[in-house]
Each structure stands twice: as C-alpha cells, then as structure tokens.
Structure 1
C-alpha cells in the first residue's frame, strides 16, 4: 500500500472518532444482538464481548491517543557515512500487511486496527463469530472514515470466514501476508501457528504466577493477590497461581486467611497443592497440567515451594511467559527474580494487572506479546514497524 503522510493518517483517525461518536447507539444495539445469542456459560468471553457506552468512549479515547502519538514510520534509527563515501541510513518501515485474529472483544476491531493503520500497514481483521454484528458496524465506520479522506476501503478489511475458510486463507493467502497476530487462547494460537505460512507474533496467553517470599509484607501480598485475581478475570494479565515459600512465618494461618477471603468475599474457586493441601480441605489439582492452564475465571491455585530457586523453576516451567510477581522486601532478591524469570513483565510487590499498554505508558496496544522476536510486552504503535536500510552511493562497487 502507498506510504501515507502523517496528516492524512491523522485525518482518518479524526473522522473515525467523529463517526463512532455519532453512531455509538447503533454500535451498542448491534452488540446487543451478539450478546443475546451468546452462551453465558463462558463468563470471561461474555465480559470481553460487551460493548456499552463506556466501551465506546474507550474506543474513541484509544483512537485519540494514537492520533496524538508520533508517527512511527520513517524515523532514523542510525546514520553513518563510510570512508568510501557510501551513506547508510537505517529507518523504521511498515510491515506491509498485518492480519489480526481475535476472539470476542469487538473493541479490538478499533484498537488493533488504529495502531496498525497509523503504522501504515494494510489490515485484515478476523473476529470471532460471536461478535459478528458488532464487528460489521465497526468495519462500516472504518470504511466511512477512509472514504471521507479519499482512501480505499482496502486499507482495513473484516474477513467473514468459517474455520475451514480461515485455515485456507492462512495457508494460501490471496496476497502476501507479512505478520499475523492471534489474540486469544492456546487453541487459537496453536491453530494459527500450525496453519500460517508467514511470521506469527504470539500474544495473549496468561497463566501468571506470584511468589510469596519468606520476608513478604503480608498486607501487601494479600492486596496484590486479590487485585490480580479478581479485578478482571477475562484479562490475560489476571493472576492464576500463587506459590507460598514454606519458610513464610505463620504460613498455615496466612494461607487459610487468604483462601477464606478469596472464597467468601470474591467467590473464587480454590485448588491447592503442597502445604496448602495439607492444611485445608480444598480440592487438589486434578492433573499436573493444571499448573500450565490459563483459567480466565474466578479460579486460583494455591501451592508452595521450599526455596527461591524452586519458585523460579516452577514459574519458568509452567507459566505462559506473560507476567510474574515476587512479594518481598529484599530489593536485591527481587532483582534476581526479575532477571531469572522468563516473562514479558516481571514485578516486585505489584499486581500483574499493570501489564497493559495504557498502564505502562505505551498507550493503546495491539496485544501483549510473549514472543522474544520481534518484541516482547505491550505491542504499541512504535512496535508495529520493522526497519529498512537506505544506501546512497555514487557509482560505488565492491572490489
């Protein structure tokens, strides 16, 4: 696609904000059709599906934030002139064509597309069938904004494909795909990785861990655990596993206190292993694989380890590589934890719920990447470009 100047891209985004605001009631009504046909047994997916007036406000705010950010395209990374007179400049460059596959969450149709568009990429969106009515009207808004500014609707396309058609599109796309970003559970991610024939940037899987060290401030530990588990169960940054160090003073009473609070005040289902299984009557883990499971529900595992090293080993073995926390007053031990844990975000004495583009100062995000190439963590505007070398010569040849 053509390289657009910053003003043109921002004009589209300004139009988009106006259009969404004017059509907000239509958007909410379309979403109600999706909600009426959705099975509420999956509360996390249902929560992600909801679009109310506040969610529309959030969409507009996300566009506004991206509009106000610096254009990430064409920025100089490095520049040098060699002794030979050859001038070499490395600049940021669009990926080209990005496909985003996501479950539920119609707001992704806005927040992901606005980032990819500002970074001058052509976008294919593949939302879940459960959000079909919502996504259709949001695509209409995008097309209206593009056409108001003299641009082709082909910049942003919503795909209406079933699973088999999606498989065929991924394996034999009608045009070159440069990057695919699946946002969803492990089944979706595995499906895309097995099927796609271009680069796949993995995002979204949580299964986040928290380790309570022997010197932990117990009030901080309780506050952080409760927030990370209950603030938003549908978020990939929610907490699923807690590891108590067996040397924590008054371990038995603290485990019982936390478990009772989670169960009675927040209706959290509790599974136990290790020391917590010895001192409580809660169900134990059905299988060892439960340690690897992302719950996306009011459900948590309380387990124990005998040392710092065992905690690090457990987390690196079972977590999704998203976020992990240590509760400790020892800053050197916290730094050691952060260096040894293989996650996109590592914390001392803070909730995993901060693993979010807006909360981390990145702004709107396409996803939380758990890959190490090409970026890990919140995938914001600056991360949606690649690079290119510009080389100027004057008849230079290599001899």
Structure 2
C-alpha cells in the first residue's frame, strides 16, 4: 500500500481538529437523534452512546496527541550484518487495512481511526446501528479532512450492515482485510472470531479482580475499591470481583465498612455464603457463572480465599485477563501476585481504572488488548504496527 509522508498525515489531522471543532452542532444534533431512538434497556450501552461538548473536546485532544507523536512507520527495530555479508534490518510496517467493529461509542470513530490512520492503515469502521447518525457525521468529517489534503475519501470508510450482512461480510469480504479489532462485549467478540477469515485482535472483556490480603492497609482499600468500582461503571477496567483473605484481622468490621461505602454509591452486593452475614443486604451468588461475568453495572461480587495462592488460582480461573489488583503491605507478596496472575495489567495498591492508554502514558488507544499476540494491554500508536525484514545483498546465494 502507499506509504504517506508524516507531514501529509499530520496535515490531515490538523484539518480534522478544525473540522471537528467547527462541526460540534452537527455532531451533537446527530447524537441526539441516536439517543432519542435508543431503548434504554442497557444503561452501560446508553452511557457509551452519549456525546457532549466535553467528549468532543476529548476527540480533539486525542487527535492532537496522536499528531504530536512520532510516526511509527519505517523505524528500524534491529539491524546487523551476517558473516556472508547480508545486511538485515527489521523495520516497522503498516498492517494494511484494519476493520474496527464497535458498539455504541461514537468517539471510537475518531479516537481509534486517528491511530490507525497515523500508522498508515486504511480503516473500515463498523459501528453499531444505535450510533449510526453520529458516526455518519464523524466519518464525513474524516472525508472532508482527507480530501482537503489530496487523499481519497476511501482511506476511511463507514460500514452499515445488519447482523446477517456483517456475518457474510466477515466470511467473504469484498476487499482484503489484514486485521479486525472488535471493541465491545463478549458476544460481539465471539461473533467476530467465529466468522472472520483474518487475524482478530481481541479487545478485552473486563471482569477484573482485586485480592485484599490479610495485611492490607484498609485506609487504602476503601478508596481504591470504591474508585475501581464506581468511577466509571461502564468501563472495561472497572472492578467486578473482590476476594478477601479469610485471615484478615477484624474482617467483619472492615467488610461492614466497605459494604456501607459501596451501598452509598448504589452498588448491589453479591457474596459467597460465609460472607453474607458480614455484608448487609448482600445477595447470594446464584451459580459459578457469576464469577465469569463482566457486569458493566453497579454490582460487585465478594468471595473469601485462604491466602495468596488461592487468590491467584481463582483469578486465573475466572477473570477476563484484563486487569487484576493486590492490596497488601508486603512487596514480596505483591511481586509474586503480579508475576503469576495472567492479566494484561496487574496492580499493587492501586485502582484498576488506570488500564487506559492515556492514564498509562501510551496516549490515545485503539483498544485494550487481552490477546498475547501481537501486543497485550493498551494498544496505542507504537503498538499499531507490524514488521518486515529488509535484506540487502551483493549477489549472495544460499548453498547449505
């Protein structure tokens, strides 16, 4: 594919900043149409759909951030000369065409596409029907910016297909697709993985855990758990499960205090049988499937474990591999936890809400990958590349 010069890509992004800022009314009017048509049976999906001036500011800030980052394409990752005189370089390269499939969040139309574009990829955007009016206006902004800078509008395309048509599209795409990134719930991810015929980068289901060790500092525990659960209920980095160590001194009083703080935030409490008497208004866990569930709702689940090894085993058995935290005063214990828990981000005495490109210093992100290939965690500009080998010779042939 054509490799665009950095100045050309940055010029498109400069145009986008101006166009988005000047299109606020059109964007918010379109979003209002989507909100009016939305049946509010899924509060988390509705929350992701809502745009306001602050979110438009966030789109502009994301574009500015990516514009200011170094071009990730063509960087030499390694180089050397072999005994036979061949000079070999490994350089970063674009994927080619990336299909991004996402639910509700129209800001993805800007924040994900800007990364893929700066990394020199062509972009196909398959947003949900609940955001179709907003996405059309935002993609029109992209097209205006591309055309202002002498590029064809089809660098970035919006796809509006129903479920059956999307299935057929994935099985037999009318154009080559090099990578698919599904951003949404587990059903969407499973649907894409089942039908896609190219690489799929899984953008992760949350179901994040916190283990409160017996020696945890409860002055830290309370604000960390409250923040991780309630700061943004609909985020994939929100906390869903809390494991408390059965050896915790004064556990009844501590759990009562934590339960009261969560109920004050309108969070529903679920608990294993031994903890039910310690958590007022808590309901029993219905069955094992609850431990696998990502809530995306004001709901949290409490379990009891006998020590560090049991906590690690339970987290690795049930979590989504996204984020997990240990709250402990013992640095050695924390290190064992962080080494052995199989998640993209592991925390010691901190909220899981930091699993985010901006909060982790990556900048704007395409997704939080829970895959182990080719990258895990926030997928920012530097991670949105593949690589290829450049081999320079002077007549060499292989004889063995």
Whether TM-score is above 0.5 comes out as yes
**Structure 1 residues 75-224: aligned runs within 5 Å:** 75-224=75-224
Asked whether the 8 Å contact 1:246–1:275 carries over to 2, the reply is: no
Distance in 1 between residues matched to 2:282 and 2:267, nearest whole Å: 12
Q: Is the 8 A contact 1:274 1:304 kept in 2?
A: no
Tell me the distance in 1 between the aligned counterparts of 2:342 and 2:287.
Answer: 24
For residue 123 of structure 1, give the secondary structure of its aligned residue in structure 2: strand
CA distance in 2, matches of 1:330, 1:140: 54
Deviation at 1:276, TM superposition (A): 1.3
**CA distance in 2 between partners of 1:116 and 1:306 (Å):** 45
Deviations 1:168-224 (A, max 9, x none): 111111121111000000000000000001000001310000000000000101110
Q: Distance in 2 between matches of 1:252 and 1:171?
A: 55
What is the CA–CA distance in structure 1 between the aligned matches of 2:273 and 2:378, rounded to whole Å?
34
Q: Give, in angstroms, the shift of residue 275 of structure 1.
A: 2.8
SS at match of 2:284: coil
Q: Which residue of 2 aligns with 1:272?
A: 271
Query: Partner residue of 1:282?
Result: 282
Unaligned runs of 5+ in 2: none
Q: Distance in 2 between matches of 1:238 and 1:365?
A: 17
Aligned position for 2:347: 347
TM-score, reference length from structure 1:
0.99
Aligned to 2:6: 6
How far is the alpha carbon of 1:347 from its aligned partner? 0.2
The question of 1:297 aligning with 2:291 is answered: no
Equivalent-residue separation in structure 2 for 1:157 and 1:287 (angstroms): 44
Structure 1 residues 342-399: Cα deviation after superposition (integer angstroms, max 9, x where no partner): 0000000100000000000000000000000000000000111000000111111111
**TM superposition shift of 1:237:** 0.2
What is the CA deviation profile of residues 76-106 of structure 1, one whole-angstrom value per residue up to 9, with x for unaligned ones?
0011111222111110000011100000000
| 1:68 match | 68
For residues 350 and 200 of structure 2, what CA distance do their matches in structure 1 show? 30
Residue 236 of structure 2 corresponds to 236
Q: Is the 8 A contact 1:209 1:319 kept in 2?
A: yes
Instruction: Write out the 4+ residue segments of structure 1 that deviate beyond 3 Å after TM superposition.
Output: 278-281
Q: CA deviation at 1:277?
A: 2.1
- Structure 1: gaps spanning 5 or more residues: none
Shift of 1:260: 1.6
**SS in structure 1 at match of 2:130:** helix
CA RMSD of aligned residues (A): 0.8
SS at match of 1:109: helix
* Cα separation, 2, equivalents of 1:308 and 1:90: 42
Q: Residues 346-365 of structure 1 correspond to what in structure 2 (within 5 A)?
A: 346-365=346-365
Measure the CA separation in 2 of the matches of 1:24 and 1:205.
32
1:382 matched to 2:382? The reply is: yes
Matches of 2:37 and 2:175, distance apart in 1:
34
Q: Counterparts of 1:397 and 1:317 in 2: how far apart (Å)?
A: 51
Secondary structure, in 3 states, of the residue corresponding to 2:326?
strand
Q: Which moved more, 1:188-197 or 1:272-281?
A: 272-281
**Alignment partner of 1:318 is 2:287:** no
Question: Between Structure 1 and Structure 2, how many residues are aligned?
Answer: 398
**Partner of residue 256, structure 2:** 256
Q: CA deviation at 1:278?
A: 4.2
Matches within 5 A, 1:25-36: 25-36=25-36
